[in-house]
Amino acid sequence: MTNGELEFQHIYDAFWPKIHRYLARLTDSDEADDLTQEVFIKVNRGLKSFRGESQLSSWIYRIATNAALDHLRRPSQMTTEMSSIDTEREEEPVRLRGKVAFIDQQLIRKEMNACIRNVIKKLPEDYRTVIVLGELEEFKNHEIAEILQVSLDTVKIRLHRARKKLKNELENLCCFYRNESNVLSCDLKSAIRQLKESD
């Protein structure tokens, strides 16, 4: 292997899991594998011209973000994404033991994560991207600014608005509480309404 090939292999090994997870979170797509490969083809092609003007991680995440946004903006993907949201809402299993609202801890966590994923999926692209980068990938604000190539103030404004919108949507969709193990959990309000209606 040449030095360039060794360098790329090292980058690929170090970043593939992170970029795959990021793309899956950002697009919630079954195409995360293909998108990740697309990103690393671009990384490999661009490595020779990378001058280190930004951090390597920021550069790779910028390529990944652009790939994800291009994917989300494809007309066929936008149609599929909207229909998948509707399908998930209609088919999302709500497993209740009789009329008892407490479910096993693992299922509660899974359903809460599904709630949050569905809400994040519906956020405008700019808000979705900063939420995923900041809250899920745990980048600092200045790193997000570097990845998105926007000002720090823009990142702060988008994050503030995105968190507010996410909070409002979650409050409308879910009832949060501490379960018997003191773990923060949630029930879909639609499930609670069903319980009340069946009483």
Q: Domain end: 38, 59, 91, which one?
A: 91
Count of domains for the chain: 2
Q: Cα separation of 180 and 134, whole Å? A: 30
Environment class of residue 25 by beta-carbon count within 10 Å: exposed (0-12), middle (13-18) or buried (19+)?
A: buried
Inform me whether the pLDDT recorded for 145 exceeds 90.
Answer: yes
Q: Which of 73, 58, 81 is nearest to 126 (CA)?
A: 73
Q: Which of 122, 99, 89 is nearest to 188 (CA)?
A: 89
Q: Which of 22, 27, 17, 58 is nearest to 140 (CA)?
A: 58
Q: 129 with 110, same domain? A: yes
Q: Which of 187, 119, 126 is nearest to 155 (CA)?
A: 126
Q: What confidence category does residue 161 fall into, taking pLDDT thresholds of 50, 70 and 90?
A: very high
The pLDDT of residue 76 is 58
Q: 190 with 158, same domain? A: yes
Strands (E) across the chain are located at 174-178, 184-188
Whole-structure pTM value: 0.71
Q: Domain end: 32, 56, 91, which one?
A: 91
Give the range of the structural domain holding residue 49, as residue numbers without chain letter. 1-91
Locate 120 and state its tokens.
């994040």
